Chain A
């Protein structure tokens, strides 16, 4: 029989995390709901009052607040609140009031707790703590590892072409020509040894050449005479790398694929190469085979395909960021090889530097080039100046041709200021830390993420060691860095199709780099400098920071998870832009985000915002 609260049930069926619940449980929920009406401006929940229901917005809009009266969240139809209070002692933690005339569905506490116990999805969706989600992120990593090992069935294309074992070589050759295939399966037909239709052998173009034409045999002989009998096969559920290993071991170009003992396809070595061409390792090795800048440019689509594939396979931000950085480094290295081939060997040793996101192994697709040159101390501008100027131009122009746009701040080796002998660099770094100015702080935040990619890379390490030794003893410098890092703040969250700011103002889009990943890596850099970490990658820095024990317990882990949420949002946005062939940007539109993503992003922003407050306090910024 149909329940009486059908309108309530219909509403629940349209909204997560309810619509995912089993039908009988959902009906129980619908039958348990009471309804509250609140006029715009009226109070819904008052701090510390007893709380008996989970609040789900049926219509209207609600604002929730911190205890100090600061806006905490703004919610509309389908939004919910009061879960923290119910999970922690049954008292109101975030007071709420109606922004518009609002109807609230009140789910009684016992029903809410039952849902929380019975549905893991519901619990994950509703629970605000990061500890619970860490469990699910482990499951995600497992899933991505499984996906990275794709199975043979993903490579299967057309139905395999076959012929009976009674056919002649000529008939086989005719069929292969008709079907335009280079390999043909031979199936048992009227043989006593095996049932009809089972695999007897395989014959390829190469077999025809080597076993028929070269020895001068008659093409009317049975195909079984020259086929490879009982060939190696692979089950469709095995991993691609297993197929690859098999083909390498036996030097096979074709491998029949079986499903429940029946042949369902043939994979050729070219299928595997095509698949692997989207692999970052393949892209890197292909970069080093290119002979000109134009040829290097032709690799760019492979870079994009590789990026998309990693995103599709749910790789984490560190895997993607380091793969893209490795590719970017390879472009630089190959361009330097080409430059030296054209300009001749360098007159004095040098080190080519990657800075910023590439140095941090956090590079994505749409990124500008930040680079510089350290020259040997024997560098003489009159003698060597023009060589390095040309070298720098060659590399920077080449990078621009390959999609790494010129740096608008002119942080490039083509800028004479950033093409200096080691001792000048050492002096730069010293001055930046000892006499900070606005401009020098900006330089610090760019140049302190440093990675030598070519030549005397130990010089980059020396500069880095200088920073990690000196910075932590410069409290004024750290305070100024912290002040700078606090200038870019995350938004509060989302409301309808808007980005909501801390002061309640609403914007149409969110620059996820400026408001998310950038302030995050700024924050982590300062702590890294303070604890003398010599790591470049933000997550590795965070490990050092956690080990150094400067953060309250658990805060470092929260930061790590929040960083991942924000970084992945940016990555997914770039993947979407790439798929649609749009102009690259970092502007995420709220309507592109699912409720689930919004909720997690909001929490991640909260973690970042809290960490910024703590940073301010910690460094007296």
Chain B
């Protein structure tokens, strides 16, 4: 995923107010027109009270041309299915897609994805059937949800005329709940105390998870899945209802 400065990480606007995703999926399945979306919502969603140990997840990571979903687009998608017993990295998928907006040179350096690779990549619409079938019925896990959810919503809006909303567990948000619960006091600031970093690599480091090479979609998705395992093992329990984590 993209490097995010502290300002972007504090962003909190724009969240939906859905808590009962099971009901939301049922409603959507009945109202959406595109068959892809009908299938997607038709696969259903677990009840809010389901213990996390019984939930199937997919870790997602999008590499994008920039941060704003209205003027930037997705260049690659990494996806790894997992549950709390095992991360199925052998079933990891990665797609390169041609962005709707031009690839800037600075994002080329971040992702190490080149113009020529992008030129031969398909449009997102071509991979959507496979992508949506892998996401259907699963709870998505990301680090910083505003990228994955908003970019996917914008991309579908543009292509299918309808947006897409799905429940997400945000591992960055789980870190923020602990380390951003209250702002630093004047006393902390006086002592030069700094905010604890809640970036992916820094968060993983707190759980003694190994450092990985960043900005590779599948690697970042695996990194995120591992982080959630550590967070649940250390701060929650196997019986924690999924509604405590998703949003």
Interface, chain A (partner B; CB < 8 A): 4-8, 10, 31-37, 39, 42, 58-60, 100-101, 103, 106, 108
Dominant SS among interface residues on chain B? mixed
Q: Give the complex CA separation of A32 and B91 in angstroms.
A: 8
A215 to chain B, nearest CB (A): 82
**Residue B165 CB within 8 A of the other chain:** no
Category for how many chain B residues contact A: 20 to 34
Chain A residues with CB under 8 Å of B85's CB are: 36
**Residue B212 CB within 8 A of the other chain:** yes
Q: Give the complex CA separation of A33 and B85 in angstroms.
A: 14
Contact B226 A7 (CB under 8 A): no
- New A-B pairs, 14, CB < 8 Å, besides A6-B213, A36-B87, A39-B234: A4-B92, A7-B212, A7-B216, A7-B219, A8-B89, A34-B86, A34-B87, A35-B87, A35-B89, A35-B225, A35-B226, A39-B230, A59-B209, A103-B210
**Residue B99 CB within 8 A of the other chain:** no
Chain B residues with CB under 8 Å of A59's CB are: 208-210
Q: Give the complex CA separation of A8 and B93 in angstroms.
A: 14
Chain A residues with CB under 8 Å of B208's CB are: 59-60, 100-101
Contact A34 B210 (CB under 8 A): no
Q: Give the complex CA separation of A5 and B216 in angstroms.
A: 10
Identity of the chain B residue whose Cβ is nearest the Cβ of A42 in the assembled complex = B233
Identity of the chain B residue whose Cβ is nearest the Cβ of A10 in the assembled complex = B213
Question: Could you pull out 27 A-B pairs where Cβ atoms are within 8 angstroms?
Answer: A4-B92, A4-B218, A5-B90, A5-B92, A5-B218, A6-B216, A7-B216, A7-B219, A8-B89, A31-B90, A32-B90, A33-B90, A34-B86, A34-B87, A34-B89, A35-B86, A35-B225, A35-B226, A39-B230, A39-B233, A59-B208, A59-B210, A60-B208, A101-B207, A101-B208, A101-B230, A103-B209
**Residue B124 CB within 8 A of the other chain:** no
The residue in B86, B89, B210, B222 that gathers the most chain A C-beta atoms within 10 A of its C-beta is B89
A99 to chain B, nearest CB (A): 12
**Residue B229 CB within 8 A of the other chain:** yes
Q: Give the complex CA separation of A355 and B94 in angstroms.
A: 71
A228 to chain B, nearest CB (A): 68
**Residue B78 CB within 8 A of the other chain:** yes
Chain B residues with CB under 8 Å of A108's CB are: 90
Q: Which of B94, B207, B209, B210 interacts with A4 by CB under 8 Å?
A: B94
Known: A37-B233, A60-B208. A6 touches B219 (CB 8 A): yes
In chain B, positions 193-216 with a C-beta closer than 8 Å to chain A are 207-210, 212-213, 216
Q: Give the complex CA separation of A5 and B212 in angstroms.
A: 12
B84 to chain A, nearest CB (A): 8
A444 to chain B, nearest CB (A): 53
B222 to chain A, nearest CB (A): 7
Q: Which of B94, B213, B233, B234 interacts with A7 by CB under 8 Å?
A: B213
A33 to chain B, nearest CB (A): 6
Q: Give the complex CA separation of A58 and B225 in angstroms.
A: 15
**Residue B101 CB within 8 A of the other chain:** no
Identity of the chain A residue whose Cβ is nearest the Cβ of B92 in the assembled complex = A4
Chain B residues with CB under 8 Å of A8's CB are: 89
In chain B, positions 67-95 with a C-beta closer than 8 Å to chain A are 78, 85-90, 92-94
Contact A36 B222 (CB under 8 A): no
Q: Give the complex CA separation of A612 and B207 in angstroms.
A: 42
Dominant SS among interface residues on chain A? mixed
Chain A residues with CB under 8 Å of B94's CB are: 4
Identity of the chain A residue whose Cβ is nearest the Cβ of B223 in the assembled complex = A7
Chain A residues with CB under 8 Å of B218's CB are: 4-6
Q: Give the complex CA separation of A34 and B219 in angstroms.
A: 13
Known: A4-B78, A7-B219. A33 touches B89 (CB 8 A): yes
Contact A106 B210 (CB under 8 A): no
A23 to chain B, nearest CB (A): 18
Chain B residues with CB under 8 Å of A36's CB are: 85-87
Q: Give the complex CA separation of A334 and B207 in angstroms.
A: 68
What are the 6 A-B residue pairs with the smallest beta carbon separation, nearest first?
A: A37-B229, A35-B87, A39-B233, A4-B218, A59-B210, A7-B219
Q: Give the complex CA separation of A108 and B209 in angstroms.
A: 23
B155 to chain A, nearest CB (A): 21
Chain A residues with CB under 8 Å of B90's CB are: 5, 31-34, 108
**Mask for B142-169, Cβ within 8 A of A = 1, else 0?**
0000000000000000000000000000
A550 to chain B, nearest CB (A): 49
Chain A residues with CB under 8 Å of B219's CB are: 6-7
Q: Give the complex CA separation of A403 and B212 in angstroms.
A: 54
Identity of the chain A residue whose Cβ is nearest the Cβ of B210 in the assembled complex = A59
Chain A residues with CB under 8 Å of B93's CB are: 4
Chain B residues with CB under 8 Å of A37's CB are: 87, 226, 229-230, 233
Q: Give the complex CA separation of A6 and B222 in angstroms.
A: 11
Q: Give the complex CA separation of A6 and B92 in angstroms.
A: 11
B226 to chain A, nearest CB (A): 6
Chain B residues with CB under 8 Å of A100's CB are: 208
Chain B residues with CB under 8 Å of A39's CB are: 230, 233-234
Chain B residues with CB under 8 Å of A35's CB are: 86-87, 89, 222, 225-226
Chain A residues with CB under 8 Å of B92's CB are: 4-5
Q: Give the complex CA separation of A129 and B54 in angstroms.
A: 41
Identity of the chain B residue whose Cβ is nearest the Cβ of A111 in the assembled complex = B90
Chain B residues with CB under 8 Å of A33's CB are: 89-90
Q: Give the complex CA separation of A36 and B226 in angstroms.
A: 9
A272 to chain B, nearest CB (A): 56
Contact A7 B86 (CB under 8 A): no
Q: Give the complex CA separation of A101 and B226 in angstroms.
A: 11
Identity of the chain A residue whose Cβ is nearest the Cβ of B217 in the assembled complex = A4
The residue in A35, A36, A58, A101 that gathers the most chain B C-beta atoms within 10 A of its C-beta is A35
Q: Give the complex CA separation of A58 and B204 in angstroms.
A: 14
Chain A residues with CB under 8 Å of B89's CB are: 5, 8, 33-35
Q: Which of B86, B229, B234 interacts with A106 by CB under 8 Å?
A: B86
Chain A residues with CB under 8 Å of B210's CB are: 58-59, 103
In chain B, positions 111-161 with a C-beta closer than 8 Å to chain A are none
B4 to chain A, nearest CB (A): 21
Chain B residues with CB under 8 Å of A5's CB are: 89-90, 92, 218
A234 to chain B, nearest CB (A): 56
Q: Give the complex CA separation of A519 and B199 in angstroms.
A: 55
Contact B222 A7 (CB under 8 A): yes
Chain A residues with CB under 8 Å of B212's CB are: 7
A106 to chain B, nearest CB (A): 7
Chain A residues with CB under 8 Å of B213's CB are: 6-7, 10
Q: Give the complex CA separation of A60 and B208 in angstroms.
A: 8
Contact B226 A103 (CB under 8 A): yes
Q: Give the complex CA separation of A59 and B230 in angstroms.
A: 13
Chain A residues with CB under 8 Å of B216's CB are: 6-7
Chain B residues with CB under 8 Å of A32's CB are: 90
Q: Give the complex CA separation of A33 and B222 in angstroms.
A: 12
Identity of the chain A residue whose Cβ is nearest the Cβ of B220 in the assembled complex = A7
Identity of the chain A residue whose Cβ is nearest the Cβ of B82 in the assembled complex = A35
Chain A residues with CB under 8 Å of B229's CB are: 37
Q: Give the complex CA separation of A60 and B229 in angstroms.
A: 14
Q: Give the complex CA separation of A108 and B94 in angstroms.
A: 22
A198 to chain B, nearest CB (A): 59
Q: Give the complex CA separation of A6 and B213 in angstroms.
A: 9
Q: Give the complex CA separation of A7 and B92 in angstroms.
A: 12
Chain B residues with CB under 8 Å of A6's CB are: 213, 216, 218-219
Chain A residues with CB under 8 Å of B87's CB are: 34-37
Identity of the chain B residue whose Cβ is nearest the Cβ of A39 in the assembled complex = B233
B239 to chain A, nearest CB (A): 15
Q: Give the complex CA separation of A31 and B93 in angstroms.
A: 11
Known: A6-B213, A7-B219, A103-B209. A34 touches B230 (CB 8 A): no
Identity of the chain A residue whose Cβ is nearest the Cβ of B218 in the assembled complex = A4
Chain A residues with CB under 8 Å of B78's CB are: 4
